[in-house]
Every structure is written in C-alpha cells, then in structure tokens.
C-alpha cells in the first residue's frame, strides 16, 4: 500500500498545473527551491507545483569582462 501512495504523489507532482520543471527554471536563470524563496529572490514560476518553486534573483547578475 505504501508504494501506491508514493506513485500517486509522484504522478501528481509531475503532471500538475503550470509546472515547467527544473530544466526550464535553470535555463531561465532561476533555482528550484522547496518551500520559500530566500531573501533577495522572487517566485518566477514553479518547478513542480505547488511545492517546489522556481526562484530568481531580484537584482540581475552582472558579468565581469
């Protein structure tokens, strides 16, 4: 019975709503985080809705030349 709940949770996380996945988040310059974004970041989208968030930095990073 335990494996049934694991499979059910896995399916619900991977097929839920507006989730884009970690590859899309990383490509857009964000990081996937569980729970809340840290200070200095904002919620851009979801990696796996509604638990794992895609957080981006409030200030853009500057590249040194």
The closest alpha carbon to 60, from 40, 46, 43, 45, belongs to 40
Q: Please indicate, yes or no, if residue 14 is contained in any of the structural domains.
A: no
Q: Please indicate, yes or no, if residue 34 is contained in any of the structural domains.
A: yes
Range of the domain at 23: 19-57
In this structure, the dihedral spanned by the alpha carbons of residues 15, 16, 22 and 26, taken in order and rounded to 10 degrees, is 130
Number of domains in the chain: 1
Q: Please indicate, yes or no, if residue 11 is contained in any of the structural domains.
A: no
* pLDDT the model gives residue 39: 93
Structural contact between residues 47 and 28, judged by C-beta atoms closer than 8 angstroms: no
Rg (CA), the chain: 14
Q: Please indicate, yes or no, if residue 13 is contained in any of the structural domains.
A: no
Structural contact between residues 55 and 42, judged by C-beta atoms closer than 8 angstroms: yes
* pLDDT the model gives residue 56: 94
Q: Please indicate, yes or no, if residue 27 is contained in any of the structural domains.
A: yes
Indicate if the pLDDT at residue 5 is higher than 80. Answer: no
Q: Please indicate, yes or no, if residue 38 is contained in any of the structural domains.
A: yes
**pLDDT tens digits, one per residue of 9-57:** 666 655 545 556 788 888 888 999 999 999 999 999 999 888 899 999 9
Pick 4 or 21 by higher pLDDT: 21
Q: Please indicate, yes or no, if residue 44 is contained in any of the structural domains.
A: yes
């Amino acid at each position: 019975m335990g494996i049934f709940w694991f499979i059910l949770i896995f399916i619900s996380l991977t097929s839920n709503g507006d989730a884009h996945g970690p590859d899309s988040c990383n490509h857009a310059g964000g990081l996937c985080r569980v729970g809340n974004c840290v200070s200095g970041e904002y919620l851009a989208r979801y990696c796996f809705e509604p638990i794992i968030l895609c957080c981006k930095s409030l200030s853009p990073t500057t590249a040194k030349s």
